[in-house]
Structure 1
Amino acid sequence: MPLVRIDALRADRDRLEALGRAVHDALVQTIDVPPGDLFQILTGHDGTTGMLRYGDHFGPHRDDGIVIVTITMRSGRTPDRKRALYRRIAELALEYAGTEPRNMVIALNENEPIDWSFSDGVAHYHGPSEPEG
């Protein structure tokens, strides 16, 4: 169950929708996320009420087309699958939203199954347990 946050500078609703589709399709295609497993926070920043600050770390010059994608998911994917995910997100973001690959910044945060609750205060991957203490 990945939780995806997409922050894009100067992005309208259509661009945010396209970026969300690109990331979700890449997750489904590269790391076997079920198609219905969709949890995303999509935020456009207009430079006045919301801003993104960025530099040229690792070489490419980024511009106002920058998109920062943060994916939180359970640990266990191999480095090769993560590389495939990054590549596919960049490809689909270009295809669906016209976002140049140099403007895609992606960060993965991994955690353990106990770190997830989907509703009702239950650790769904671990089931109910006795309170500590």
Structure 2
Amino acid sequence: MPLVRIDALNATPQHLDALGRAVHEALQETADVPPDDRFQILTSHDGTTGRLHYDDYLGVHRDDGIVYIAITLRAGRTPEQKKALYRRIAELAHEYAGTEPRNVFIALTENEPIDWSCGNGEAQYASQQ
């Protein structure tokens, strides 16, 4: 179960939806995420009350088209799956939302089944440990 947060600068609702679709499809294709397992927080920052900062770290030139994607999910994917996920998100973000791959910044955080409550105050995955 992934929880995805996407932050972009001056993004329209359509742009945010396209980015969300790109991330979810990439998760399905590369990380065995079911189609109905979609939990996303999509936020546009206006540059005044909300800002995004970036530099050219590691020689990647970024600009105001930057999109930060934070994915939290249960541990268990291989390094190859993670690399495929990053690649596919960048491809689909470009295809669906026009976001340049150089502007796709992804942070993946893994945790354990006990770290999730999917509603009703229950730890639904706790028995899977």
Q: CA deviation at 1:21?
A: 0.3
Relative to the length of structure 1, the TM-score reads 0.94
Report the 3-state secondary structure (helix = DSSP H, G, I; strand = E; otherwise coil) of the residue aligned with 2:71.
strand
Letter in 1 for 2:79: P
- Higher helix proportion, which one? 2
What per-residue deviation string (whole Å, max 9, x for no partner) do you get for residues 76-129 of structure 1? 1000000000000000000000000000000000000000001111110125xx
Question: What's the counterpart of residue 126 of structure 1?
Answer: 126
Amino-acid identity (%): 70
SS of residue matched to 1:92: helix
The runs of 4+ residues in structure 1 deviating greater than 2 Å are none
- 1:32-66 per-residue CA deviation (whole Å, 9 max, x = no partner) reads 10000000000001101211011111111100100
Letter in 2 for 1:80: E
Where 1:58 maps in the other structure, the secondary structure is helix
Count of residues paired in the alignment: 127
What residue number does 1:36 align with?
A: 36
Which residue pairs with 2:88 in the alignment?
88
Larger radius of gyration: 1
User: CA separation in 2, counterparts of 1:60 and 1:81?
Assistant: 23
Extract unaligned runs of 5+ from structure 2: none
Q: What is the TM-score when the length of structure 2 is the normalising length?
A: 0.96
Alpha-carbon separation, structure 2, partners of 1:123 and 1:31: 22
CA RMSD of aligned residues (A): 0.7
Distance 2:61 2:34 in 1: 35
